[in-house]
Structure 1
Amino acid sequence: MNQRKAWLLLIFCNLFWSGNYVFGKYVVGEMSPLLLTYVRWVPATALLLVIAQKMEKPDWKMAVKSWRVLAGMAVSGIIAYNMILYTALTYTSSTNAAVVSALNPALLVIVSAVLLREKLTRIQSLGIFVSFTGVLVIITGGSLAQLIAMQINRGDVMMLGAITVWTIYSIIGKRLAQVPPITATALSALMAIVILTPFAAPQFSTLYQLPPMAILGIVYIFLFPSVGSFIFWNVALREINAGKAGIFLNLIPVFTAGINLMLGVPVTLVQLTGGLLVFIGVYTTTGLLEKRLSRLREA
């Protein structure tokens, strides 16, 4: 796989995750964050195991030998991240949650630099700044006064915990090079289900009371954010370092605005401007700008 294909995977990955904020906000009003996390991953795990066998044909015995790393992925990326995210959505809006998640790239870059010794050039660092500026434009409406007056609620603080956990998951996943990405996701999800079952079981009776829209939301969440996004994310991380991949998380607030537009919520000029800055930042950080400048100098 080349880098362009990896970038495309990351774009769709974050598009699917954006829908998770919107649908998750609604579904978590009908069930607990624990039960939603469990119900999301049971069908997703079954599908991931089948896909892993078909596409990767892994040596399952060899993969299981990495159970300690897989367990770390299960606890961080499957259990902790999802439960913190869905709990946060009970206190804050899907937009706020998506916006706070945009801080993740900066955290990934810092942790990657410290633990993995991954380096970014000055121009790529500028891309991080531009992307983050775009996010700030979106959440403040272009008003500095609004930024200063913002009040951080419990849900927003929880989202800071969620992105910290996701950073840990990304770093762990990067170190699991000996296990194919889909296999790793499937096995870590299976471990998470085993851990969660005794805690989720007492709430199973509430599933019969779910309205049709909640069921539709669950189907979306297990198919796209659970299966699609996790496969795309782990596959892309084999080609692109964690710091650069994290920049694409800045697309989540932009895509969330787009989903809201489709749901009838108007998108303002300020949001469009912020979205453009995010895309420019991603373009810069991926190294495409540097390559173009290099070609211009050679010409």
Structure 2
Amino acid sequence: MSGLSKYQFALALLFIAPALWSVNYLVARTAPGQVEPHTLALIRWLLASFLFGLGHWRAIRAARAEILRDWRHYLVLGALGMWICGAWVYIGGRTTTATNIALIYSMAPVLIFVASALWLKERVTWLQAVGVLLAFAGVLHVVLKGQWMHLADVQFVVGDLWIVGASLAWTAYSLLLKRWQSPLAVSPRLAVIALAGCVVLLPFALFEALTGAQAMPTLTGFGLSVAAALFPGYGAYLAFSVMQRELGAAKVSVVQYLGPIYAAVIAWLVLGEAIAMHHVVGLGLILPGIYLVSRRSPASGQQAA
């Protein structure tokens, strides 16, 4: 695949990945009473690790010396991306609202964009900064349903602390995934990271099995775990890693801002909820913002990051 086609493929993934991630919203809302949070995350990432590794076990075995040398990196990435960004969201979702989750997570792309410039030394332009702010304004407009005065009425609860932790962990995962290089290609690397995440998740899942209200997942709970493994697990994380490799962490961060739009579309298709004007206005801000962030630098003909 040529460099140009790789870049175009990564741009297409900017619009596909949020659809895959949006399945996690449905999983989080349905999981209580069906499967405990850490158990759900453990099943999700065990299955995803297997899928990532399909056809790549020889490459993983060939790189075992490098993997063992960098085991701390894989463990940290697994803890951030699979434990905190997985189970903590499910825990927080029990007591907080979807609005609060969206508001808190909307800060992550801004943090990633700034840190990418300062820490990863990715080249960013003032137009990209404008794009991030446009997309940020768009997602807030959707979350607040166009009623900006209601921002002062938002009340935060204990569950929001779990979401804050998950949002910060996602920021760190995004940056470290780019910072820490690996001899492995995208898919086998994710297989190792996901397996490392399962190592972190295992004792918490065992504790849930011994003390939780739902010692074993129901059939529905297992189905939710499989759905989480296939779509927001295998599909979304693979797409995210490919996008990071081709576009850089700063550009890929704005992909999160399409989440509320995709959630609204899913609610329209599945639940029959109407698309409102605030969705249209929000999309009108988010799409130009994503364009400004992801466009190639006109001076060099290369992506700006």
| Interval containing the TM-score (normalised by the shorter chain) | 0.7 to 0.9
CA distance in 2, matches of 1:220, 1:209: 14
Match of 1:193 among 183, 195, 198: 198
Displacement after TM superposition at 1:195 (Å):
2.9
Q: Relative to 1, partners in 2 of residues 1:202 and 1:149: Cα closer, same or farther, differing over 3 Å?
A: closer
Counterpart in the other structure of 2:64: 61
Displacement after TM superposition at 1:30 (Å):
2.3
Classify the secondary structure of the residue corresponding to 1:263: helix
Counterpart in the other structure of 2:240: 233
Counterpart in the other structure of 1:263: 270
Displacement after TM superposition at 1:60 (Å):
2.9
Which amino acid in 1 is paired with 2:206? A
TM-score when scaled to structure 2? 0.86
Q: Is the 8 A contact 1:95 1:253 kept in 2?
A: no
Which amino acid in 2 is paired with 1:48? F
Which amino acid in 2 is paired with 1:199? F
Displacement after TM superposition at 1:198 (Å):
3.2
Q: Residue 4 in 1 paired to residue 8 in 2? A: yes
CA distance in 1, matches of 2:140, 2:200: 38
Which amino acid in 1 is paired with 2:277? L
Q: Which moved more, 1:151-160 or 1:186-195?
A: 151-160
Counterpart in the other structure of 1:297: none
Which amino acid in 2 is paired with 1:281? G
Off by >4 Å, runs of 4+ in structure 1: 202-209
1:241-270: CA deviations, max 9, x gaps? 111110111111111111111222222111
Which amino acid in 1 is paired with 2:30? Y
Q: Which runs of 5+ in 1 are unaligned?
A: 295-299
Q: Is the 8 A contact 2:103 2:143 kept in 1?
A: yes
CA distance in 1, matches of 2:50, 2:171: 25
CA distance in 2, matches of 1:93, 1:104: 18
Match of 2:138 among 128, 131, 134: 134
CA distance in 2, matches of 1:259, 1:34: 26
Q: Relative to 1, partners in 2 of residues 1:57 and 1:199: Cα closer, same or farther, differing over 3 Å?
A: closer
Counterpart in the other structure of 1:278: 286
Displacement after TM superposition at 1:85 (Å):
1.1
CA distance in 1, matches of 2:21, 2:114: 23
Counterpart in the other structure of 1:44: 48
CA distance in 2, matches of 1:252, 1:134: 11
Displacement after TM superposition at 1:204 (Å):
4.7
CA distance in 2, matches of 1:94, 1:19: 14
Q: Is the 8 A contact 1:35 1:203 kept in 2?
A: yes
CA distance in 2, matches of 1:156, 1:204: 25
Displacement after TM superposition at 1:226 (Å):
0.9
CA distance in 2, matches of 1:177, 1:159: 28
Q: Is the 8 A contact 2:81 2:173 kept in 1?
A: yes
Displacement after TM superposition at 1:97 (Å):
2.0
Which amino acid in 2 is paired with 1:60? A
Displacement after TM superposition at 1:211 (Å):
4.6
1:157-236 to structure 2, matched below 5 A, reads 157-178=161-182, 179-204=184-209, 206=214, 208=216, 210-212=218-220, 214-236=221-243
1:120-152: CA deviations, max 9, x gaps? 211111101110111111112212221222222
Number of residue pairs matched?
290
TM-score when scaled to structure 1? 0.88
Q: Is the 8 A contact 1:29 1:90 kept in 2?
A: no
1:68-83 to structure 2, matched below 5 A, reads 68-83=72-87
Q: CA RMSD in A?
A: 2.4
CA distance in 1, matches of 2:233, 2:66: 21
Match of 1:22 among 18, 26, 48: 26
CA distance in 1, matches of 2:89, 2:179: 24
CA distance in 2, matches of 1:209, 1:196: 16
Classify the secondary structure of the residue corresponding to 1:280: helix
Q: Is the 8 A contact 1:37 1:82 kept in 2?
A: yes
Q: Is the 8 A contact 1:96 1:156 kept in 2?
A: yes
